[in-house]
Amino acid sequence: MGLSAAKVKVGDTHEQVLVDDLTRTQLVMYAGASGDYNPLHSDELYAREQAGYPGVFAHGMLTMGMTGRAVTDLVGADRLKKYGGRFRVQVWPGDTLTATVTVDAVRDEGGEHLVDLSVVTVNQKGEQVFTGNATALIDA
């Protein structure tokens, strides 16, 4: 199921809470699923004493993965052509993240109907933790 071109307008926004009070356990789940076992994300002692951080923090790719949900909930899980972005500040246990997806353009290219989206994920302080863009196929 994709978005229909008739139902999507430039400037439309879609806001979604991605996680409320991020747990260390979710960081461990992401390590296990992704295979990125960097102890910065699961080993408090290592992160503090060895690496010099206040504690463990989220994989950037966990934030990007959670943000992807806001995009696929809008356009459908099998419609993405492009998705990318930048990690702005670290995400810490206890953070609450909210993504806002904005429709930047609706266009046709090479016989395909496309939507261009920008996405911004902020923490509970309003700081941008991830900013990116996506392009997806939509229905006529």
CA 61 to centroid of chain Cα atoms: 8
**Binder to another protein among 72, 100, 102, 118 (CB under 8 A)?**
72
Per the CB < 8 A criterion, the answer to whether 126 and 95 are in contact is: no
**Of positions 21, 49, 112, 127, contacts another protein by CB under 8 A:** 49
Please tell me whether residue 40 binds another protein under the rule CB under 8 A: yes
Q: How far is the CB of 7 from another protein (least distance, A)?
A: 20
Q: Say whether residue 129 binds another protein (CB under 8 A).
A: no
First CA to last CA distance, the chain: 12
Size of the site for another protein (CB under 8 A): 49
29 is a contact residue toward another protein (CB under 8 A): yes
Asked if residue 60 binds another protein (CB under 8 A), the reply is: yes
105 belongs to the binding site for another protein (CB under 8 A): no
Rounded Cα gap, residues 17 and 86, in angstroms = 19
The whole-angstrom separation of Cα 46 and Cα 79 is 40
**117 - beta bridge partners?**
103, 134
Where residue 102 falls (left for φ over 0; alpha for ψ -120 to 50; beta otherwise) is beta
CB nearer to another protein: give 6 or 127. 127
From residue 26, alpha-carbon distances to 22, 29, 105, 115 in Å are 7, 5, 34, 31
Is 90 a binding residue for another protein by CB under 8 A? The answer is yes
Query: Residues interacting with another protein, by CB under 8 A?
Result: 18-19, 26, 29-30, 32-40, 42-43, 45-46, 48-54, 57, 59-62, 64-66, 68-69, 71-73, 77-78, 80-87, 90
